[in-house]
């Protein structure tokens, strides 16, 4: 993948040069304050990227997914080895393309780079607001106020950060072009929507945005719609193929359209285990059987510490936003985004109302309300300064994140920045590098040591899966992972045992 990446950069070198020139022009127009803020964020991103990630999913499947892509590409039935590997977000594919494993094994920092680029966009729009006074530009500029939260996602290849930020850019463009749009602007909206959907399928409701624009501006867009339709169908085809390769299902994790009969198809019992676990995580793994909808809601808003606080804040924003919109805005495009946000939350509630599945709407609601009340660029920049200072906390204090999240059985914690990290970044995993080899039938796999949590794998050499997970599934589901052939490249299947 790295060779393909370098080849593409070479082929598009003229376009790259044009963008670099535009970047330089914008940079020279910025005030010294803006320049210092961008430099600060860049240094903070570099520093955060050099310390050990603290996100739990980094250990359960982020690292391993990227390792599989780099070493084997797409592997048939990979979901049979570890059900989390079946997800393989396009963000992980992109990270694999830019990880350059032949040079260094610690590159895991696409999120940090992306945050710096997005920060430049934010200050660019704040700069334009000084003359245009368009509230929409103030909104996108205010997103950096959330930096103390976003910074925790920098040093792991989490798809969540890209969803949080790209969605804000999409909302910004939707509001900007809602009343009038040309084909070029529509193409950007469509591409961002498609990109979000393939990064995280839970954002699929956002396809309503380009559809709304097509309906509203059909006469303008009609002559050029063939190419976008063909491109969308092509991406959908690739997405379905990816699902089939990894799981044997077209619409994984949905079992609808189960029309294929391949030997690497993931057993429905494992998919059910994944769905139940994902849903329970939203309620802090509380006992949910026989609870009414009201009782479920109470369990949700009273979840463990951080999760419960986020849920309460989001509920408050969801209920108050339409009233504040009526008093402060009345902009139709903003209310359409609110309606889509409500629809998204309803779907998330059905499948798994974890905060990371709807946080980007929470970010949109809160930033809109912020600029409705504080309509001056200087105030938004002041809030941004405070946020920049608060973003230093993870570097100065070791925070045990397991004290604030649902993952209470792990020792997930932030790493304090050390001088040696300037020269040599930490490894990409907070887990021990030790591992043991296990044999299940004729299948030999590597597993982290016994002190690891059920789902975690870390940076254990391939093929790797946690022995605790294999033993649990074997005991309760009578299923074990196995190679399809003697060659790992040919993929995995599940075998039923007595």
For the segment 279-331, what is each residue's pLDDT rounded down to a tens digit?
887 777 777 777 888 888 888 888 777 788 888 999 999 999 999 999 998 89
**394-45-304 Cα angle (round to 5):** 40
- The mean of the pLDDT values for the chain is 86
**Beta 435-440 vs 492-496: how paired, if at all?**
unpaired
Residue 413 has pLDDT above 70, yes or no: no
- Distance from C-alpha of 309 to C-alpha of 299, rounded to nearest angstrom: 12
- Distance from C-alpha of 402 to C-alpha of 56, rounded to nearest angstrom: 9
Question: What mean pLDDT do residues 244-271 have?
Answer: 87
- Distance from C-alpha of 67 to C-alpha of 488, rounded to nearest angstrom: 14
Q: How confident is the model at residue 407 (pLDDT cuts 50, 70, 90)?
A: low
Question: How does pLDDT run across 30-54, given as a tens digit for each residue?
Answer: 889 999 999 999 988 888 887 778 7
What tokens appear for 291 in the block?
A: 């609870």
Whether cis (ω within 30° of 0) applies to the bond prior to 120 is no
Q: How confident is the model at residue 16 (pLDDT cuts 50, 70, 90)?
A: confident
Long-range contacts of 319-326 (CB under 8 A, 24+ apart): 321/365, 321/368, 321/369, 324/369, 324/372, 325/368
**Beta 435-440 vs 443-448: how paired, if at all?**
antiparallel
Beta bridge partners of 480: 495
Question: How does pLDDT run across 56-75, given as a tens digit for each residue?
Answer: 888 888 889 999 998 899 99
pLDDT of amino acid 168: 95
- Distance from C-alpha of 315 to C-alpha of 321, rounded to nearest angstrom: 10
Residue 410 has pLDDT above 70, yes or no: no
In the numeric block, the tokens 């902009």 are attached to 331
Residue 22 has pLDDT above 50, yes or no: yes
Residues 6+ apart with CB under 8 A from 180: 217
pLDDT of amino acid 1: 47
pLDDT of amino acid 338: 96
Largest CA distance in the chain: 73
Q: DSSP H helical segments within 178-301, as ranges?
A: 183-199, 208-216, 218-221, 226-247, 268-281, 293-301
pLDDT of amino acid 404: 56
Question: What mean pLDDT do residues 465-473 have?
Answer: 91
The residue count of the chain comes to 498
Give yes or no for a contact between 154 and 135, defined as CB atoms under 8 angstroms apart: no
Q: DSSP H helical segments within 30-109, as ranges?
A: 32-50, 56-57, 63-71, 90-97
- Distance from C-alpha of 397 to C-alpha of 414, rounded to nearest angstrom: 8
pLDDT of amino acid 26: 84
- Distance from C-alpha of 144 to C-alpha of 175, rounded to nearest angstrom: 19
Give yes or no for a contact between 492 and 483, defined as CB atoms under 8 angstroms apart: yes
Residue 409 has pLDDT above 60, yes or no: no
High-pLDDT (> 90) share of the chain, %: 46
High-pLDDT (> 70) share of the chain, %: 90
Question: Which has the closest alpha carbon to 123: 104, 141, 103, 101?
Answer: 141
Provide the 8-state DSSP code for 420.
Answer: G
Task: Give the phi and the psi of residue 445 in degrees, each rounded to 5.
Answer: -135, 160
pLDDT of amino acid 411: 52
pLDDT of amino acid 253: 82
Give yes or no for a contact between 20 and 117, defined as CB atoms under 8 angstroms apart: no
Question: What mean pLDDT do residues 458-475 have?
Answer: 90
Residue 423 has pLDDT above 70, yes or no: no
Residue 333 has pLDDT above 50, yes or no: yes
Residue 263 has pLDDT above 60, yes or no: yes
pLDDT of amino acid 99: 72
pLDDT of amino acid 415: 61
pLDDT of amino acid 483: 93
Residue 218 has pLDDT above 90, yes or no: yes
What tokens appear for 244 in the block?
A: 């089939």
Indicate the domain borders of the chain.
435-496
**Beta 479-483 vs 492-496: how paired, if at all?**
antiparallel
C-alpha distances in Å from residue 351, one per residue of 37, 270, 276, 357, 405 = 39, 16, 9, 10, 20
The answer to whether the predicted template modeling score (pTM) of the entire model surpasses 0.85 is yes
- Distance from C-alpha of 397 to C-alpha of 407, rounded to nearest angstrom: 20
């Amino acid at each position: 993948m790295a060779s393909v990446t370098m080849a593409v950069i070479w082929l598009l070198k003229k376009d790259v040069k044009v963008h670099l020139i535009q970047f330089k022009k914008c940079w020279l127009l910025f005030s010294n304050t803006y320049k210092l803020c961008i430099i600060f964020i860049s240094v903070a991103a570099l520093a955060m990227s050099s310390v050990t990630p603290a996100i739990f999913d980094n250990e359960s499947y982020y690292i391993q997914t990227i390792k599989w892509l780099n070493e084997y590409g797409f592997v048939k039935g990979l979901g049979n080895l570890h059900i989390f590997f079946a997800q393989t977000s396009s963000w992980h594919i992109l990270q694999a393309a830019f990880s350059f494993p032949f040079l260094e094994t610690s590159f895991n920092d696409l999120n940090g780079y992306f945050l710096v680029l997005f920060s430049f966009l934010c200050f660019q729009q704040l700069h334009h607001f000084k003359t245009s006074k368009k509230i929409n530009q103030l909104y996108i500029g205010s997103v950096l106020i959330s930096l103390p939260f976003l910074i925790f996602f920098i040093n792991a290849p989490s798809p969540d950060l890209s969803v949080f930020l790209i969605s804000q850019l999409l909302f910004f463009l939707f509001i900007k072009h809602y009343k009038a749009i040309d084909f070029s602007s529509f193409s950007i909206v469509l591409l961002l929507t498609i990109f979000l959907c393939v990064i995280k399928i839970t954002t699929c409701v956002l396809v309503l945005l380009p559809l709304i624009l097509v309906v509203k501006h059909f006469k303008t867009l009609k002559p050029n719609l063939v190419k976008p339709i063909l491109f969308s169908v092509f991406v959908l085809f690739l997405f379905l193929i990816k699902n089939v390769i990894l799981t044997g299902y077209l619409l994984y994790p949905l079992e609808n359209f189960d029309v294929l009969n391949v030997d690497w198809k993931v057993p429905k019992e494992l998919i059910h285990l994944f769905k139940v676990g994902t849903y329970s995580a939203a309620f802090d793994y509380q006992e949910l059987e026989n609870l009414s909808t009201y009782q479920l809601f109470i369990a949700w808003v009273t979840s463990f510490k951080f999760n419960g606080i986020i849920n309460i804040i989001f509920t408050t924003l969801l209920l108050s936003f339409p009233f504040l919109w009526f008093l402060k805005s009345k902009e139709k495009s903003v209310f359409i985004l609110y309606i889509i946000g409500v629809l998204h939350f309803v779907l998330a509630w059905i499948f798994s109302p974890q905060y990371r599945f709807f946080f980007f709407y929470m970010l949109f609601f809160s930033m809109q309300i912020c600029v409705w009340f504080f309509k001056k660029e200087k105030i938004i920049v002041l809030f941004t300064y405070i946020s920049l200072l608060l973003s230093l906390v993870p570097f100065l204090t070791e925070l045990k994140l397991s004290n604030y999240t649902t993952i209470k059985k792990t020792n997930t914690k932030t790493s304090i920045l050390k001088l040696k990290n300037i020269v040599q970044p930490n490894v990409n995993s907070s887990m021990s590098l030790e591992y043991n080899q296990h044999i299940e039938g004729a299948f030999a796999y590597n597993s982290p040591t016994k002190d690891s949590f059920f789902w975690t794998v870390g940076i254990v050499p391939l093929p790797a899966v946690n022995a605790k997970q294999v033993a649990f599934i074997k005991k309760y589901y009578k299923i074990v992972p196995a190679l399809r052939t003697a060659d790992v490249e040919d993929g995995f299947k599940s075998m039923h045992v007595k």
